[in-house]
Amino acid sequence: MTRRTTDGRWSPALAVAIGGAVLLAVLGLLFSRPDIVAMALPPALWSAFALSRRAGGIEARVIVEALPAGDGELRTSISIESDADAVEVLIVQSERRSRRVFVPGDGRPVVARSRVLHSGPGVPVQVSARALAFDGAVLGVASPTVTSPRQVAPALVRIDDVPLPRRLTGLHGTHEGRRPGQGGDFRDIHAFAPGDELRRVDWRATARMARRPGDLLVRRTHTLSDASVVIAIDTSEDLGEVVSLWGSGDYERSGVTSLDHARQAARAIAVETIADGDRVALHVLVNGGRSLRSGGGSRHLARVEAAIAATGQAREDASFRRTPHVPHGSVVFVLSSFFEGAAAQTALLWRASGHRVVAVDVLPRLDRARLTRTQTIGLRTVLAERENVFADLEGAGVDVVTWAEDPAAALASIAGARR
């Protein structure tokens, strides 16, 4: 991304040089001191040289390029191309810390390193430049701010198993279905019917069980089916570990946030689902939020992971008015902190529609230090209300998993208990 500026203006240093030269010349004449008058010559000559040039025509070209991330940090290359003697560059990192550096205008890159504190979308670097010409006599106008937005993928957490829907409806996959077909375990012995393959004839069963000459018996197996998994992320809140910083917007000291856990859980579920040969869909529960239709394969997984990395907190109008479409016979994972009732009601609606629903609590472990007595009472109240929400979900048949407490074992337990 590049930006340039071409206007210029005289700097305050030029006025100081002219005033200093005049003052030294007057003092030298008043006190008959030729040495003081000689001291006024350098700033006078420099001012005359600067005034003989045009103030405009200064060009500064800002080039910002994202470098591969590594070692827990984001690296950004910043290059300034200008005909000026030097360029003043203002760099704002992570929307908090500002650095002001002076670099030559020959295009040599400056690498800005920003720590990766959270996954998801962010702006690690914002750059604005101003050219300096004629030894600082002319200042260029500050260029528009150039940003370098990045999407940081969450760390991959391996889970061993994902709960399946109560009834598989797919036509291919790795899970044994209930319908007759090919690829699965033994189902039954059935009389030969139009459409059966001759290679499926069980000659031993025919010789032993055929009632009339010419009757044939075939060996039928269960079909292999795929499952449909839907991931729904509630982005209405982003709460960190430090409770005292809730609502402050200080994500640098907040620790791991609920959306960090949500993105991590969504990626882990998507990776395991695609690895099992199943289909996955993604919905962001916000008005106008992004949705990806159900699909499978490595390309679809790449699209899902990119959408997860680009999922941030809903800034405005966080309520969602329409329930996303869910394929028939799906298992739905609702990822939320469940402080707001909309996510829980949507989970109950999907459960009432016959889907298998797993509510994933993404709230991190809470640090209750530095809370006042009033804040402590308020926190206990909202946590008690949240427990009532979980009780209602479990009463309706929704499985509840806490992501901060060994989610792999909890999901494997749910999958084994209902299989």
Does the residue 247 lie in any domain? Answer: yes
Asked if residue 323 is part of any domain, the answer here is: yes
| Distance (Å, whole) CA 389 – CA 392 | 5
Whether 261 is in a domain gets the answer yes
What is the pTM (predicted TM-score) of this model? 0.76
Give alpha helix (H) positions in 310-360. 341-352
The SS3 assignment for 16 reads helix
Supply the CATH number for residue 322's domain: 3.40.50
Instruction: Specify the pLDDT at position 187.
Output: 57
At residue 192, the pLDDT reads 66
Give the residue from 193, 209, 225 where a domain finishes: 225
Residue 168 burial (C-beta neighbours within 10 Å; 0-12, 13-18, 19+): buried
Q: pLDDT digit of tens for each residue in the chain (419 aa)? A: 544 444 556 666 667 777 777 887 788 788 778 888 788 777 777 677 666 665 555 677 888 888 887 777 888 888 888 777 788 888 888 777 888 888 887 778 888 888 888 888 888 888 888 887 766 666 777 778 888 888 888 988 988 888 877 766 655 555 555 555 554 555 556 676 776 666 766 677 667 777 777 677 766 665 556 778 999 999 888 899 999 888 887 777 888 999 999 999 999 999 998 888 888 999 998 877 788 998 888 999 999 999 999 998 887 655 665 678 888 878 999 999 998 778 899 999 999 988 889 999 999 999 988 888 998 999 999 999 999 999 999 999 999 999 998 888 888 888 776 54
Locate 381 and state its tokens: 């109240």
What's the pLDDT score for residue 3?
47
Going by their DSSP bridges, the two strands 60-70 and 73-82 should be labelled as antiparallel
Do residues 321 and 234 both lie within one domain?
Answer: yes
How far apart are the C-alpha atoms of 121 and 193, rounded to whole Å? 58
Can you tell me the distance from the alpha carbon of 121 to that of 98, in angstroms, rounded to the nearest whole number?
20
Could you tell me if 107 and 204 lie in one domain? no
Same domain, 207 and 279: no
Taking the C-alpha atoms of 292, 294, 297 and 302 in order, what is their torsion angle to the nearest 10 degrees?
Answer: 10
Q: Phi and psi for 207 in degrees, rounded to 5?
A: -65, -30
* 309/393 same-domain check: yes
23 within domain boundaries: yes
- Contact in structure between 248 and 134 (CB atoms under 8 Å): no
What's the CA gap between 236 and 255, in Å, rounded?
18
- Residues 82, 86, 87: CA angle, nearest 5 degrees: 70
How far apart, in Å, are the Cα atoms of 19 and each of 25, 26, 35, 47, 195? 10, 11, 18, 10, 103
Q: Which of 236, 209, 247 lies closest to 344 in space, CA to CA?
A: 236
pLDDT at 209: 74
What's the rounded Cα separation, in Å, for the pair 164 and 416?
Answer: 10
Per-residue confidence (pLDDT) for residue 27, from 0 to 100? 82
Same structural domain for residues 60 and 182? no
- What are the C-alpha distances in Å from 301 to residues 232, 235, 292? 16, 21, 11
Question: Would 130 be classed as within a structural domain?
Answer: yes
Q: Are residues 232 and 137 in the same domain?
A: no
Q: Are residues 21 and 109 in the same domain?
A: yes
Domain of residue 132: give its range: 1-151
User: Domain check: are 243 and 105 in the same one?
Assistant: no
Statement to judge: residues 254 and 267 lie in one domain: yes
E strand segments, 2-156: 2-5, 8-10, 60-70, 73-82, 86-93, 97-103, 110-115, 120-122, 125-133, 138-140, 146-147, 150-152
Sheet holding 330-336, edge to edge: 291-295, 279-285, 228-234, 330-336, 356-361, 399-402
137 plus 181 within the same structural domain: no
CA-to-CA distance for 345 and 307, rounded, in angstroms? Answer: 24
Q: Which residues contact 136 (CB under 8 A, 6 or more apart)?
A: 11, 13, 85, 86
Q: What is the CATH number of the domain that holds 82?
A: 2.60.40.10
DSSP at 367: B
Contact 219, 209 (CB under 8 A): no
Rg of the chain, C-alpha, whole Å: 34
Is position 132 within any domain? yes
Residues in the chain: 419
Is 324 in the same domain as 393?
A: yes
In a domain, 112, yes or no: yes
Spatial distance between the Cα atoms of 292 and 309, rounded to a whole number of angstroms: 14
Number of domains composing the chain: 3
Residue 169 domain flag: no
